[in-house]
Amino acid sequence: MSFGYPLFLWAWLALAIPVIIHLFNFRKTIRVYFSHTQFLKQIQEETTQKRKLKQWLVLASRLLFLFFLVAAFAMPFIPAQEQAGSQHTVTLYIDNSFSMGVGNQKTRALDQALQMAQEIVNLFPAETQYILFTNDFAPSSNTYKTKAEATDLLAQIRLSPISRSANEIINRAARNPSTLFWISDFQKSTFGEPPKRDSLAQVRLVPVPVESSSNVWVDTAYLQNLFAVGGDKNSVTIRLRNQGKVKKEALPVKLAINGIQAAASTIDIEAESTANISFDLIGLKGYHKAMISFSDYPVSFDNEFYFALNYAKKLSILEIKPGPATTYIEKVFANRDLFSFQSFALSNLNYSLLARADLIVINGINRLDEALIESLLLSRNATGSLVLIPGSEPDIASYKKIISFPLTKAERHDPEELDKPDFQNPFFTQVFEEKSAAMAMPKASRVMEWGRDQSAILRFKNGQPFLAHQGNTFWLSCPLEKGYTDFFAHALFVPVMYRLAATGKKNDQPLYYPLTAAEIIVPADSLAKETPVQWKGAQEFIPSQRKVNGQVVFTLPKDAVAAGFYWVINPPDTLSLLALNLNKRESLLSTLPANDVKQKLGGKNISVFKASTAESFSREIKERYLGTPLWKYAVVLSLLFLLAEILLIRFLK
């Protein structure tokens, strides 16, 4: 214990005054005459003992009263663990992620964090300089700030969609070596791997308590049919996760497309589990902004989920045929809104187009020459899909160089009816409105065969395959010509060919990206060489980008991007529509105890504040840096002993 004004302790000499008064009683002796003294001696002895006890108690009360009164004026205190005056620079990190918007019923965790940070700024001397940074890692956090500037910056801090790992925070603070005050809820899901830090660096952990809350968020979203083209019927499945320990019953979930509610439903989600809900998507073409929303109190920052439906890209179809005549392939892909169709005779083929096509159709060619085979094999990885339709007299040896099945030439026979499609085959997902066993089927007379193929898409009734595939290579067993088949005139022909085209879609854009995505790739066949690609949405900016093989690779500037929709534009063309969402880890609200964080950081030169509110933190930090004042206790004790003296004189007879 120390004293602020130790010279006042000389006043303890005044304690001698009550002692002197007690030892030398200056009151005059009064003689009392009494008629009989036989029993007086015994009474006087008993009375004298009680009087002496009272006098000693009164003396002790007076001495203690004066002792603590003098001590109060000397300002006693317990010395501080650290000296605020020795801190010339201080680093403040304030976690402003969305999880800090939860807090308790009275105030948000972020508001408590800002109050704690303000207490730190108020405590240190006026000449102290501050580095203040949040999850945004704003450029302004790179320079030292005065006390007034730090106070002004604290007033401007808002919740941010950006999460930071412990490693990022430690590395950022290491740029300006000084005592780091780390104010956070220490969310377990975003903490990451234990960082490597300088063991000499001083770290002060300031945990902000967050009430344990149940939370529901969108875990993922996916289309039932990944290969649907614009206008096809499709559906989107949303997986919701319930983090809480209580079942969510009849939770309303809404789907909005382009800002207009398109569907709504309710869902039950068991505690600590997931559940799926699906919505139909019908007749959509072009670009569409889709959003899932629901009401989940008290955690609401993740109650909206964005995903983009891109049906604007035309599928590139390339047909290679023996001559200039119009084919059934050209007729089925005549829809210019959906397909970019090109047809070339083999003698007039531009081989550079092979790598750019989503679907290549070899139609009616008997013999595949070496140049074509080599080009197809070289471009197979880049090509979406390949469909081989043989001529009437196919050269099996040339086809075997592309198809690894044991092909043989079939004997000519009358057309046979195909068997009903296998409706469980993923190839036919959502192709048929009604699945009837009585539907009529086309007929065909095969010119190639390869034995019974259980993986064939369409078969004859005798089990022989009609349409088969190997990876992204498909082939028919007969030509698309009259006399061999009527498949081209059957209602099944168009959906099958459309599905073949859809399987060749390359560089499919995901429905959504997290804000933590390292790169985003957007297909772009033709771009102006000098014009950069722009993003327009909640913000408008030009991200870091590079152009590679008909694609634009963007480096996501997560420090400056908010969740929402963004148009990717290369004027005057629109390349894509992107949807960005919060990192799912932010929705996991479980936190780490501050002592566990201390252990993960190494423990050395790390201390933990135990305060749970801004008020208690104010007292704790003052005790740590200013010491614990004791003068109030001394005043209280002096008054108590003064009261004791009064009570002894008044009531102890």
Both 365 and 498 in one domain: the answer is yes
Are 370 and 395 within 8 A, CB to CB? no
What is the rounded CA–CA span in Å between residue 592 and residue 215? 18
Both 11 and 67 in one domain: the answer is yes
Domain range spanning residue 397? Answer: 315-502
Peptide bond into 298 cis (omega under 30): yes
Peptide bond into 572 cis (omega under 30): yes
Question: Of 253, 287, 312, which marks where a domain is finished?
Answer: 312
pLDDT digits (tens, 9 = 90+) for 499-556: 888 777 654 678 999 988 888 988 776 676 678 899 998 888 888 888 876 788 998 8
Residue written as token pair 């099996």: 396
User: CATH code at 165?
Assistant: 3.40.50.410
Both 228 and 277 in one domain: the answer is yes
The verdict on residue 39 lying in a domain is yes
Are 193 and 170 within 8 A, CB to CB? no
The verdict on residue 116 lying in a domain is yes
Helices and strands, number each (H, E), in the chain: 13, 34
Q: How many CA atoms lie within 13 A of 34 on its CB side?
A: 10
Question: Of 502, 530, 565, which marks where a domain is finished?
Answer: 502
What is the rounded CA–CA span in Å between residue 581 and residue 571? 26
Are 582 and 99 within 8 A, CB to CB? no
Both 23 and 75 in one domain: the answer is yes
The verdict on residue 352 lying in a domain is yes
User: CATH code at 224?
Assistant: 2.60.40.10
Are 532 and 523 within 8 A, CB to CB? no
Give the type of residue at 57.
Answer: L
The verdict on residue 266 lying in a domain is yes
Q: What is the DSSP letter of 39?
A: T
Edge-to-edge strand ranges of the sheet holding 76-78: 2-3, 76-78, 628-629
Are 565 and 289 within 8 A, CB to CB? yes
Number of domains, the chain: 5
Both 622 and 638 in one domain: the answer is no
**475: enclosing H helix or E strand:** strand 473-476
What is the rounded CA–CA span in Å between residue 627 and residue 79? 5
Q: Which pLDDT belongs to residue 231?
A: 65
Both 331 and 432 in one domain: the answer is yes
Give the type of residue at 115.
Answer: Q
pLDDT digits (tens, 9 = 90+) for 273-286: 999 999 998 878 88
Q: Which pLDDT belongs to residue 306?
A: 96
Q: Which pLDDT belongs to residue 429?
A: 66
Question: Of 256, 285, 312, which marks where a domain is finished?
Answer: 312
The verdict on residue 351 lying in a domain is yes
Both 475 and 370 in one domain: the answer is yes
Instruction: Report, as ranges of residue numbers, the positions in the chain whose pLDDT lies below 70.
Output: 1-5, 25-50, 77-87, 103-105, 225-231, 312, 380-383, 429-437, 505-508, 525-526, 528-529, 549, 558-559, 626-629, 653
Q: Which pLDDT belongs to residue 38?
A: 59
Both 371 and 460 in one domain: the answer is yes
Are 272 and 243 within 8 A, CB to CB? yes
Both 609 and 620 in one domain: the answer is yes
Both 378 and 483 in one domain: the answer is yes
User: CATH code at 438?
Assistant: 3.40.50.880
The verdict on residue 188 lying in a domain is yes
Both 352 and 447 in one domain: the answer is yes
Collapsing DSSP to helix, strand or coil, 541 comes out as strand
Collapsing DSSP to helix, strand or coil, 432 comes out as coil
Q: What is the DSSP letter of 562?
A: -
Structure pTM?
0.68
The verdict on residue 349 lying in a domain is yes
Strands (E) across 258-347 are located at 260-269, 273-281, 286-294, 304-311, 315-321, 339-345
Q: Which pLDDT belongs to residue 322?
A: 92
**622: enclosing H helix or E strand:** helix 614-626
Both 377 and 473 in one domain: the answer is yes
The verdict on residue 586 lying in a domain is no
From the list 443, 450, 463, 366, the residue with the least C-alpha distance to 405 is 450
User: What is the CA angle 483-486-487, rounded to 5?
Assistant: 135
